[in-house]
Each structure stands twice: as structure tokens, then as C-alpha cells.
Structure 1
């Protein structure tokens, strides 16, 4: 009986060691598939480093789409914003801000904005021009509405 007990003990130890070895050598979890919440934020920028001198007014707030494109949402439509060269967006899909070339915050998500500027024709050489959907607005001065 003692020999059988020792044999079972060794078998149990061997099974435990084998299980630990498999756990340590199993392949890592696969890389997660990107989802819309993983999208990198992007803004359309033109080739001019200064804000537009146009003075028409667009009221709306910043919004994003599934591709990470930042645009203005008015009461009834999406408007593609074209920012000056050197501007960028930082943050994530839930909280972000557009900054100028010096890092000064120009606009924030969640705020109603008064966006100066005006319409124009699309230039497909602009950075992130693939974000343009519908009307465009070449951004001038921006303030809280």
C-alpha cells in the first residue's frame, strides 16, 4: 500500500509540474483587434499657418466619427473643419482639444463654440483630407459660444 501511495504521490507531482509547465509556456494572448474606440484623433489642416481671415460664423461643438476625425456638429449637420497648418488634436475620443502650433488650446470637446471662418473648396493635398465629409469650414477665430 505504501508503494502505491508513493506512486500516486509521484504521479500527482508530475501532473502538477506538467500543468505548471504548460501554463508557463502557453502562447500569449493575441493582439487585440482595433475598434472604433481605438481610433487615433485627426484634424484636417491646410497649408496656411494662420487662421482664416474670413469672418462668417459657425455655431456648433466638436465631435468625432468612427475614424477619429474631428468635425463640427451643428444643430442639423456635420461640418468638416479645416484648421491652419501646425494645429493638432490631443486627448482621446471622450475628451480632447485642438491646439495651435505653440500648444495653446484653441477648442475643447464638450463646449459650444463660435467658429469664425468660411466655406471653400476641398484641397485633397491637405493633411487628413480623407476626414472631409460634406461641407467644409476653413477655421478663423474660435471662442466659446
Structure 2
């Protein structure tokens, strides 16, 4: 356990409302939508391997979580309904997502709009990939 860093005291996946509820020992509690977790997954598939290599995630409004696996005593690995399962969410990262949720949502909406999705349509419709590029290739 990390000294001085908030540690989780409870973790509940609510499949009907599609949120992960996390409480920490400093008294903070967060309700993190599965969609937020999926679009901000710390995986290389989402983040890329460096600055500017991020892949915008679309069509994730109805994403579910099929399971959650512990990773040591420091993280979890959600298994999303779209088979994405490579993101390891540390306690620090979950806390950061909770603390910055409003700003992250706004940044996500801004990125969708910049990619040509009006309103929140990118949350429903997966991005159409042009050509035969591989995963993570920008078009």
C-alpha cells in the first residue's frame, strides 16, 4: 500500500446504471461512468505509445463491464463489453479520474466535436475508419 495516498475502501460495479462506485479512505467517493473509464482507458490501444498518438474512442455510451479483475494490491483491470481488457486502472488513476471527471467529460465532448461529430453523436456511433489501416492508425 502507498503511504499517504488514498486507498480504496469499497468498489462496486453497477451494471444497470453503468457506473463504477469507488470510495477511498480519505472520505472521497466517486461514481465513474463505464463510458468515461472506457474512453480514458490507460491502455496503449487508447493512449498510444506517446503524446499525440491517442485514439479517439467513439460509440461507447452504452458500454458495459463484463468483469473486473484485481491487479495485485494496486489496481483493477475492467473487461468491457466491447472486449477491451488491456487497461490497468491504478487506485491513483481512478482517484484522478474521479477528481477530474467534469473536465475530462468536457475534453471528450470537445474532441468528438473536433472530429466532426455534432452534439453527442460520437458517443453513440463508432467512428468510421477509412481505408485499411491497422488499429491505432490515424486517418
Q: Could you say whether these structures have the same fold, taking a TM-score greater than 0.5 normalized by the shorter chain as the test?
A: no
Larger Rg: 1
Q: More helix by proportion, 1 or 2?
A: 2
User: TM-score normalized by structure 2?
Assistant: 0.30
Q: TM-score, normalised by structure 1?
A: 0.29
Q: By percentage of residues, which structure has more strand? A: 1
